[in-house]
Amino acid sequence: MTGTSETTAAEPISTNGSVTLSYSHDGLVATLTIDRPAKLNALTLEMLDELERRLGELAVSSARVVLVRTAGTKVFCVGADISAFSQLSAADMWRRWISDGHRVFDRLARLRQPTIAVVDGLAVGGGLELALACDFRLAGRHARFGLPEVGLGTIPGWGGTERLTQLVGASRAKQLILTRRQIDATVAEKWGLVNDVAADELDTEVERYVNDLLGSAPIAQQVAKQLVDAAAAGAPSAIVETIASGFTSYTDDFAEGVQAFMNKSAPDFRGR
């Protein structure tokens, strides 16, 4: 499924970079772009603030899929801008830098729409944590991943210890964090850190995921995403699935899906 891009881009925040939001596929696919290639897409507090505003726009949009991309080539994101946070006091690190990053990345993780991090290059530190906050991670063949913070005398501070452990287990998470070694895309896929490594063009693999996601009933899909997150937090499926099934059975999309199945035709889901 393809469409013409309809772009709504942010003006650059400053020389410190920007976060833009654009739409394609007739508005059904949104793309968040971290744009600071001259600094390897290192994130500043201003960029975190802008990312949070963009996430607020997405929460009320009609987009069904969200892509998280970064500008430039060879580097996805190197994470937090060291020159920025190294000037902060311990109290300011606590009050703003760490808490802001957690709040913004948690908001990304809680978006109702499925999210895909498109990683074509180096994703380390907060850059890997940004990708970990997405539902899917698709990697190019030259992608590399790491959490090197202990080499700076600090620790992964934007959810990396928790989300990485959920994906790859405690032993693998300790291996990546404590040794500071980077892993390539092939190893990341073997560990379960990334969902797929593109055999050829990364955008082709991204489009395949987008088409698959756009083919499902959006309300049911988004509710299912919330159910999986709830299960990961220990919610009993016997209760939450009962409530969710009752809700989705009242949607127009459910009636459309059943009717299309009976008629052996393709459903036309409208998100209602």
| Dihedral over Cα of 159, 164, 167, 169: its sign | negative
Cα separation, 145 vs 54, in Å, equals 25
Active site residue 6: no
Choose the catalytic residue: 149, 201, 207, 241: 149
Burial class of 52 by CB neighbour count within 10 A (0 to 12, 13 to 18, 19+) = middle
**Contact present, 236 and 272 (Cβ < 8 Å):** no
Q: Which residue has the tokens 């709040």?
A: 103
Active site residue 241: no
Choose the catalytic residue: 129, 162, 201, 207: 129
Q: CA 253, 256, 262, 266: dihedral to nearest 10 degrees?
A: -90
Catalytic residue numbers, as ranges = 129, 149
